[in-house]
Each structure stands twice: as C-alpha cells, then as structure tokens.
C-alpha cells in the first residue's frame, strides 16, 4: 500500500513529520520505513471516507478502519492480512497517538485488541527441511554464479549466524574470523558488539564466496563490505530482502511462497532449531544478542516436549552446570 497517493496537504505534512520524529528518536531503519507506510494507508482511508482533519476522528472511526483492514485482501499473497501484520498496523496507530500527544494534540482514542495466534506461525518459523530447500535453491536463484554464491553466503549470515538485517548490512570482510570460527558483529542492536560462532560448513561457504566469487564484483578490492552490489557499493537492507524472495521463488515450494517469510524469519528459525536440539536458552540469548532472557523466552513455546514443568526443569539443570558460550552447538545436525 506504499504506492497510495495522498491529496490532503495536512496529512502529507503529518506523515513526513511522523517519519522524521521516528528517525530522531532512534528507531530501527525498518520501523522508520514501515510505520509511515502503514500510517499512509490510515490517512488514505480517512480521505476516502470524508475525514479531512485529525480532530474529527472518533473511536468508532478507528474501529471501522481496523475492520476494513481485517477484510482487506493481502496484495503480496493470497488471503487476508496476517495477525502479525494487523498488529503492526495497531502499533502504528498507537505510535501515532504518542506522536500527537508529544506535539500538544489530545491524540486519538484507540480501543483495539491485540491479535493473538500460534506463536510459531506468527513468526513464520521454517522447519529444518524448508531451510535445506532454501540452501539448495541457491543453485538456481540467479543466472550468474557469483550472485548464487552470494545468496548462499547471505543465508549463512541470516540463518546459520542468526543476524539481524542491519548487522548483515554492516559486515566487513575482516569481521569473518576463520581462524577463530567466529563472526564479529560490530553493528548490533543498540550498538552492542558480539562474537557469533560459525560451524565448519558455514565457514566453507563464506570462504568460497569471499575468495572465489566476491572478487568478481566491482570495486571488490577497494571496499571492505562483505556483500557488494552491481555498483560495487555495500548491499543494503531492501536488496537482501529481494534476494530472499528470489531464493524462495527458486524453491518452487508454493507453501513457502504463500507464507510471509522475511529475513527475520531466518533468525527466528535458527533460535528455534537450536532450542529444539537442546541448546541452553541463556546461550541462545547471547548468540542472538538479546539484552535479556525475556526476548528469548518466546522460543520456549516451540519445544515439542511433554510440558512446561519439564522445560523449566531442563533449563534449571543447565544453569546449574554454568555452561559457557562456546557450548552453543557449532554444527547442529541437520542445520546448515
């Protein structure tokens, strides 16, 4: 819906100022990009329904808009909007209300219930067979071999290493420490640095890409960036997302193409697979660069074991043994 055109001048100004406000507050690049797009759809709805000023919006207006979203077709795939996507629209409305209050406006009344569902489905977690299909699809994801090998290296960083998009964007060649079997993440969330272990299989993929295929890209000797584009400059976030879509398309798996698989889905997937294979939740938290265990606890719901009491008992046992960071499984079979 980002192609929507607004006619109302005040809405245009609000939209631009809202985006600038998010940027100045230090929100992530994806948030600064996505929330204004969602707000644009809200403004477009207001225009189409005769609301020319924010002050005329009522609680019922917001409720009617949300009902419209629940019925709107998904423009990227079949069916309607996912619960996760609906929640993002809710987040936008609540954040816009916060923006209005910070600018001496009474805000808008919002009474919406958070959408809940199967956590694994909400996060679009892939199973290990689907991950294998993605890696195999890099043999067909582009007509140029250097780009196919780059695709495979991209999957290693997002899945095998569990990195965030911004972290991969800022990776340099020297951040891949082959001798230590580690990847140095210098641009983590909140500028927090960390080291991520690399298994031998992933190390071979990165080594082959760097020394045999990256050299074929323009400005490869002048740039430190791990991933380069056709112009010889650092590959950016949207380009990574586009390459993932190309890889998914190359699998010829209609179910994968139907689902809303994102770069972050790969990060969710490796965390889930490590947990399923018995990795300690505290070490997974360090692996992902989480500030607290609360962010990692969501993955405990994915364990297919007897019950919550058993889960907690396993976690307590592992904490008693004070397992160290290198005990994250380096080569969890059959994980890539």
The domain containing residue 222 runs over which residues?
128-327
d(CA 312, CA 300): 9
Nearest-angstrom CA–CA distance, 278 and 333: 12
What confidence tier does 209 reach under pLDDT thresholds 50, 70, 90? very high
Confidence of residue 303 (pLDDT cuts 50, 70, 90): low
87 with 146, same domain: the answer is: no
Q: Give a yes or no: residue 4 inside a domain.
A: no
Assess whether 105 and 157 both reside in one domain: no
Tell me the H-state helices in 103-192: 119-122, 128-137, 145-155, 165-169
pLDDT tens column, 137-196: 999 999 999 999 999 999 999 999 999 999 999 999 999 999 999 999 986 666 678 999
Is 290 in the same domain as 152? yes
Is the model's pTM score more than 0.75? no
**pLDDT at res. 282:** 86
Q: What is the mean pLDDT of residues 6-26?
A: 91
Position 280 scores a pLDDT of: 85
Looking up residue 237, the CATH number of its domain turns out to be 1.10.443.10
Q: Which of residues 95 and 189 earns the better pLDDT score?
A: 95
Residue 57 and residue 159 share a domain: no
Residue 209 and residue 236 in one domain: yes
Per the prediction, the chain carries an average pLDDT of 83
The values of phi and psi at residue 297, to 5°, are -60, -25
Can you give the CATH number for the domain in which 107 is found?
Answer: 1.10.150
Q: Which of 72-81, 178-187, 297-306 has the lowest mean pLDDT?
A: 297-306
Neighbours of 263 (CB within 10 A): 21
Same domain, 145 and 293: yes
Mean pLDDT lowest for which of 178-192, 200-214, 225-239? 178-192
Catalytic residues: 164, 189, 264, 267, 290, 299
pLDDT at residue number 84: 75
Helix 281-288 / helix 263-276 crossing angle, nearest 10 deg: 160
Is 92 part of any domain?
yes
Both tokens assigned to 123: 């996060």
């Amino acid at each position: 819906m980002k192609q929507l055109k607004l006619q109302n001048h005040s809405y245009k100004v609000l939209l631009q100022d809202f985006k600038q406000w998010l940027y100045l507050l230090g929100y992530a690049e994806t948030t600064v990009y996505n929330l204004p797009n969602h707000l644009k759809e809200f403004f477009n709805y207001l225009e189409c329904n005769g609301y020319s000023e924010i002050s005329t919006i009522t609680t019922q207006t917001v409720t009617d808009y949300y009902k419209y979203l629940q019925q709107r077709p998904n423009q990227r795939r079949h069916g309607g909007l996912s619960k996760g996507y609906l929640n993002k629209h809710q987040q936008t409305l609540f954040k816009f209300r916060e923006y209005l209050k910070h600018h001496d406006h009474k805000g808008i009344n919002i009474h919406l219930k958070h959408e809940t569902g199967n956590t694994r489905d909400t996060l679009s977690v892939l199973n290990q067979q689907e991950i294998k299909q993605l890696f195999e699809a890099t043999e067909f994801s582009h007509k140029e071999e250097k780009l196919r090998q780059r695709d495979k290296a991209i999957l290693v960083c997002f899945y095998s290493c569990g990195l965030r998009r911004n972290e991969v964007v800022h990776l340099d060649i020297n951040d891949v420490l082959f001798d230590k079997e580690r990847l140095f993440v210098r641009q983590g969330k909140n500028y927090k640095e960390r080291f991520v272990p690399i298994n031998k299989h992933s190390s071979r993929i990165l080594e082959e890409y760097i020394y045999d295929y990256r050299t074929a890209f323009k400005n490869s000797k002048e740039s430190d960036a791990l991933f380069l584009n056709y112009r010889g400059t650092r590959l950016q976030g949207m380009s990574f997302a586009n390459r993932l879509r190309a890889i998914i398309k190359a699998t010829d798996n209609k179910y994968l193409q139907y689902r809303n698989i994102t770069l972050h889905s790969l990060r969710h997937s490796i965390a889930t697979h490590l947990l399923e294979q018995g990795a300690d939740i505290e070490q997974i938290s360090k692996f992902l660069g989480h500030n607290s265990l609360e962010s990692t606890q969501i993955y405990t719901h994915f364990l297919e074991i007897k019950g919550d009491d058993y889960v907690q008992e396993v976690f307590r046992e592992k904490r008693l043994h004070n397992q160290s960071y290198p005990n994250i499984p380096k080569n969890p079979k059959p994980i890539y």
